[in-house]
Amino acid sequence: MNRTRAARVTGAVLLATGVVTALSVPAFGAPAAPVTPTGSDTESYPAELLQAVERDLGLNADQARVRLASDQKSSEIAEAAKASLGDAFGGAWIDQASGRLTVAVTKPGLSVTGADTAVVKNSLTQLNGTKSVLDVMNAPKSITSWRVDEKSNSVVVEVNKNTRDAAAESFIATARSIGSTVKVEEVAESPTTLYDLRGGDAIYMGSGGRCSLGFSVTGGFVTAGHCGTTGTSVSGYNRVAAGSFAGSVFPGSDMAWVRTNANWTPRPWVNRYNGTNVIVRGSTVAAIGSQICRSGSTTGWRCGTVQAYNQTVNYPQGTVRGLTRTNACAEPGDSGGSWVAGSGFGQAQGVTSGGSGNCSSGGTTYFQPVNPILSRWGLTLTLG
């Protein structure tokens, strides 16, 4: 059951324990009680899912159960706070050590029920505005991505330290001239899209190559845009004709959907790679800091945390905007696969786009959020 918990935003009138001034870095107010699910708020999770979380996130089964339920509630509070606060909303994130949700606000005296608050200089609207300026700039390949980092209240530009050149320095200088909100981070690798897919619940393109199925929708399923162009034929895991790409966008975004034929029935399932399935219940967006797992045809189940929304990634094939950044690993063969979070891992998040690193040494993986895919083509997620 998807229990919605509204966030109550209040303006404290001369009742604060101290004066909080707006700073460019978060200034934490009095702590709120953490969201601690008990009793019926926690659900039974399959052992295989808990094992994946334990392996990748260092939690035992009991800790994982409580944390997953807490992340779901915190995500709902964050979404409600964003809607209620408007331009005073500066972002939200879950602390990995405590599990607490923090909501950033631009006006002292505001509080959010069920969350800590941090007073910041820039609203999320302002940060997204700065990022949108970067989005229309011509980035060299050595600039690997840029994103809004809600926790640091900044826009972070990533540059490959091994290929950093004059063009990159020019881009960085221009970005910094936009405002003090822009920060630069060096990375060791550039992200790539994940081709050469194999194994598991794969789909096969008539033009060549394989990808993973994302989520079932009425009349078909969604996957990554780089897997195929509109009109490309698709076969299922058993090589039986499945249909064709009815819509595809890449670069710019990395989204697509396949309209299937009568041989296929959409099901609300995500493959656990153990003969059983996760049941999709909805698509509530997981808050930054939430635990998240992905399913892919090469590396199976892998877990991590949500690190940032709305990241722009500069792939060799072109720039993609609006991706979500995670520290879960992925490898070639996982593109288009499912990302799930929340209670029972039942909340659909998105489809694998690309990343850097691998599942031996770790890495960064990006996914295309699912809700914009549904909105673009008026699709309905298949739910259980």
Q: At which of 157, 190, 223 does a domain end?
A: 190
Active-site annotation holds for 170: no
At 50 the pLDDT is 82
Distance CA 254, CA 116 (A): 34
At 195 the pLDDT is 37
Whether 53 and 160 map to the same domain: the answer is: no
Domain coverage including residue 160: 126-190
In the predicted structure, residue 377 carries a pLDDT above the cut 90: yes
Whether 289 and 327 map to the same domain: the answer is: yes
In the predicted structure, residue 312 carries a pLDDT above the cut 90: yes
Whether 267 and 291 map to the same domain: the answer is: yes
Q: At which of 136, 160, 190 does a domain end?
A: 190
Whether 164 and 294 map to the same domain: the answer is: no
10 falls within a domain:
no
Q: Which one of the listed residues 56, 71, 254, 334 is annotated catalytic?
A: 254
Q: CA dist 112 to 71, 208, 316, Å?
A: 16, 51, 42
> Which H helix or E strand runs over 187?
strand 182-187
Considering only CA atoms, which of 193, 305, 332 is closest in space to residue 254? 193
> Is the Cβ–Cβ distance between 28 and 102 less than 8 Å?
yes
261 phi, psi to nearest 5 deg: -90, -175
CA atoms within 13 A on the CB side of 265: 1
Q: What residues contact residue 85 under an 8 Å CB cut-off, 6+ apart? A: 9, 103, 105, 110, 112
> Is the Cβ–Cβ distance between 242 and 258 less than 8 Å?
yes
The dihedral over CA atoms of 327, 332, 338, 341, expressed in degrees to the nearest 10, equals -10
20 phi, psi to nearest 5 deg: -115, 125
Of 6-10, 228-232, 259-263, the one with minimum mean pLDDT is 6-10
In the predicted structure, residue 178 carries a pLDDT above the cut 80: yes
Whether 202 and 179 map to the same domain: the answer is: no
Considering only CA atoms, which of 304, 312, 308, 317 is closest in space to residue 357? 304
Q: Confidence class of residue 274 from pLDDT cuts 50, 70 and 90?
A: confident
Which residue shows structure tokens 């892919």?
296
108 falls within a domain:
no
Active-site annotation holds for 335: yes
Q: Average pLDDT, stretch 5-15? A: 35
At 164 the pLDDT is 97
Q: What is the CATH number of the domain that holds 149?
A: 3.30.300.50
Whether 305 and 163 map to the same domain: the answer is: no
Q: Confidence class of residue 194 from pLDDT cuts 50, 70 and 90?
A: low
Whether 166 and 275 map to the same domain: the answer is: no
In the predicted structure, residue 2 carries a pLDDT above the cut 80: no
Q: At which of 172, 190, 208 does a domain end?
A: 190
Active-site annotation holds for 226: yes
In the predicted structure, residue 52 carries a pLDDT above the cut 90: no
Share of residues in the chain with pLDDT > 70 (%): 87
Q: Confidence class of residue 199 from pLDDT cuts 50, 70 and 90?
A: very low
34-38, 44-48, 51-55, 137-141 — most confident range = 137-141
At 105 the pLDDT is 98
> Where is pLDDT greater, at 5 or 226?
226
Whether 359 and 221 map to the same domain: the answer is: yes
Distance CA 32, CA 98 (A): 12
Whether 351 and 216 map to the same domain: the answer is: yes
Q: What is the CATH number of the domain that holds 330?
A: 2.40.10.10
> Is the Cβ–Cβ distance between 147 and 312 less than 8 Å?
yes
> Average per-residue pLDDT in the chain?
86
26 falls within a domain:
no
Whether 59 and 158 map to the same domain: the answer is: no
Q: Confidence class of residue 17 from pLDDT cuts 50, 70 and 90?
A: very low
> Is the Cβ–Cβ distance between 153 and 120 less than 8 Å?
yes
Which residue shows structure tokens 């950093």?
164
Q: Average pLDDT, stretch 339-359? A: 95
Q: CA dist 144 to 38, 165, 170, 181, 280, Å?
A: 42, 13, 14, 18, 33
At 47 the pLDDT is 77
At 252 the pLDDT is 98
- Split into its structural domains, the chain has a count of 2
In the predicted structure, residue 263 carries a pLDDT above the cut 90: no
3-state helix, strand, coil in the chain (%, to 5): 20, 40, 40
Considering only CA atoms, which of 65, 81, 87, 66 is closest in space to residue 32? 81
In the predicted structure, residue 141 carries a pLDDT above the cut 70: yes
Q: Which one of the listed residues 71, 226, 283, 334 is annotated catalytic?
A: 226
pTM attached to this predicted model: 0.75
Whether 165 and 312 map to the same domain: the answer is: no
Q: Which one of the listed residues 335, 338, 353, 356 is annotated catalytic?
A: 335
Residue 18: DSSP 8-state = S
Whether 281 and 296 map to the same domain: the answer is: yes
> Where is pLDDT greater, at 187 or 61?
187
Task: Give the angle subtended at the CA of 285 by the CAs of 278 and 250, to the nearest 5°.
Answer: 90
